[in-house]
Amino acid sequence: MDTLALTGGKALLPDGTVETADVLVDREGGTIAAVGGDIDGVNEATETIDTTGCVVIPGLVNAHTHVSMTLLRGYADDTPLETWLREEIWPVEAALTPDDIEIGAELGAVEMIRSGTTTFADMYFSEDRVASVVDRAGMRALLGHGAVTIGKDEAAARADIEESVTVAAELDGAADGRIRTAVMPHSLTTVGERYLREAVEGAADIDVPIHLHANETVDEVDPIVEERGIRPMEYAEGIGALAEGNFFAHGVHLDATEIDLLAESGTSIVHCPASNMKLASGMAPVQDLLDVGVTVALGTDGAASNNDLDLFDEMRDAAMVGKIAAGDAAAVPAESVLRMATAAGADALGLPGGRIAEGEAADLAVVDLDAPHLTPAHDVISHLVYAVRGSDVRDTICNGRVLMRDRELTTLDPDRVMERASAAAADLIARAEGDT
Ligand SMILES: CSC[C@H]1O[C@@H](n2cnc3c(O)ncnc32)[C@H](O)[C@@H]1O
Ligand SMILES: [Zn+2]
């Protein structure tokens, strides 16, 4: 068997404990062959990575982003969601080319691999170009075309929903099965009811989930309540969008009835704390969601509202804001947050990974604990959520393949990617602002 052994360090196990353990990876199958001490085959492994002084964790799962928005990092800050989207972001996005989207996705992939993320969910445009980056980078992803129907005539609105279904059907299973897909209507307010129903039907026809933004701001919730006399999650239930396997981004402004509807239906929430704080959208009731058994994953949202794709930052933010939201320092503890960024992320997306155990996908990150800000190491779980930075990740492995070894990327060239991304971003803004 062609194997990779991670030896001499600790590992984060599915029960939330950190143990001294080696991890043996079956590189052909892309799975974990064994975990523990004295494992057969470790000494004969094809390749060995010494993890002394490190902890091996599951590759992190960024369950909601718009990866190519890396090109808009720092372009429009300090503005609330509605104004930000309508006056700043959408006019620039209108000038995006498929090449821009591919370059932005490469930049996002470099950033995520360097900070231990192996898997992401992406809602954007030209997803075939994002898929080609995922394939080359060696990552795992769930991709979908984001459809918006407001402000469009019937033909254009229907075409956008149809594109979301077609893209999901065509890309599902790409990159040797590492890419899965969803139908992605943008939100409950930017897609009209009849088109939302078509999206739900289209997703069912091709057996993929639905992903959308929901209950992100009060300005998004109020019109639904005023026009329909029901809460957004009751509306979503009525159109058939609440279902096992579906996952909604944000879920900031949810009442108790809506939280119960999510739990009963098996619909997951992707918590995006940095974006929610930066756009002053509000504080999601994360502990309340966890208490009733809703699967809560973690996402960065796009780099324009974050402004990075580092899930270690996001874990710290989730723990901090979860306590403020609950008015309880014991709420959203470190072990819950780590689960959100790993196993719950994989579960929400219906993808492999998120757990270090025999037979699970070999999606792993090796975190170097030998640093002043991680000394002393009383509690590794605490460090992973509150003190580790993305730059502490030394090695990243996805599907058994090493994507970063000793902080050197193996599948992408970061210098070239950054150079191309800077040039593409400058051209994009010049085009959008009419300077060329
Ligand atoms: C239609 S593709 C996705 C669409 O979503 C926009 N977007 C980025 N961040 C957010 C957010 O926090 N809430 C709603 N929409 C967001 C992105 O710019 C694309 O236009
Ligand atoms: Zn988003």
Q: Tell me: the pLDDT tens digits for 72-100?
A: 999 999 999 999 999 999 999 999 999 99
Residues 33 and 107 in one domain: no
List, edge to edge, every strand of the sheet that includes 247-250: 211-214, 247-250, 268-271, 296-298
Domain span including residue 34:
3-58+354-405
| From 72, 75, 81, 85, mutation site for ligand 1 pocket: most ligand atoms within 8 A of C-beta | 85
Residues 296 and 324 in one domain: yes
Residue 434 lies in a domain: no
Mean pLDDT within 297-310: 98
State the total domains in the chain: 2
pLDDT digits (tens, 9 = 90+) for 273-302: 999 999 999 999 999 999 999 999 999 999
Q: What is the pLDDT of residue 176?
A: 98
Q: Residue 126: pLDDT band by 50, 70, 90 thresholds? A: very high
d(CA 66, CA 300): 9
| 378 Cα to the center of ligand 1, angstroms | 40
Residue 192 lies in a domain: yes
pLDDT digits (tens, 9 = 90+) for 160-195: 999 999 999 999 999 999 999 999 999 999 999 999
Residue 314 assigned to a binding site: no
Does position 435 have pLDDT exceeding 60, yes or no?
no
Residues 47 and 89 in one domain: no
Ligand 1: nearest atom to the Cα of 89: 18
Residue 419 lies in a domain: no
Percent above pLDDT 70 for the chain = 100
Buried b (16+ CB within 10 A) or exposed e, 207-233: ebbbbbbbbbbeebbeebeeeeeebbb
Residue 421 lies in a domain: no
| From 186, 219, 300, 428, mutation site for ligand 1 pocket: most ligand atoms within 8 A of C-beta | 186
What's the whole-number average pLDDT of the chain?
98
Asked if 344 and 286 touch (Cβ cutoff 8 Å), the reply is no
Closest CA to 299 of 277, 271, 318, 325: 271
Residues 266 and 371 in one domain: no
pLDDT digits (tens, 9 = 90+) for 377-428: 999 999 999 999 999 999 999 999 999 999 999 999 999 999 999 999 999 9
Single pTM value for the model: 0.99
CATH code assigned at 326:
3.20.20.140
d(CA 66, CA 146): 10
Residues 195 and 92 in one domain: yes
pLDDT digits (tens, 9 = 90+) for 29-63: 999 999 999 999 999 999 999 999 999 999 999 99
Residues 154 and 50 in one domain: no
Q: How many CB atoms lie within 10 A of CB 330?
A: 8
Local structure of residue 329 (DSSP, 8 states): T
Residues 316 and 385 in one domain: no
Residues 81 and 199 in one domain: yes
Q: What is the pLDDT of residue 377?
A: 95
Residue 435 lies in a domain: no
Does position 231 have pLDDT exceeding 80, yes or no?
yes
Residue 213 assigned to a binding site: yes
- Residue-wise DSSP of 28-61: TTTEEEEEESS-TTSTT-SEEEE-TTEEEEEPEE
Does position 436 have pLDDT exceeding 80, yes or no?
no
Residue closest by Cα to atom 5 of ligand 1: 186
Residues 338 and 394 in one domain: no
Q: What is the pLDDT of residue 218?
A: 98
Tell me which residue has tokens 């108790």.
256
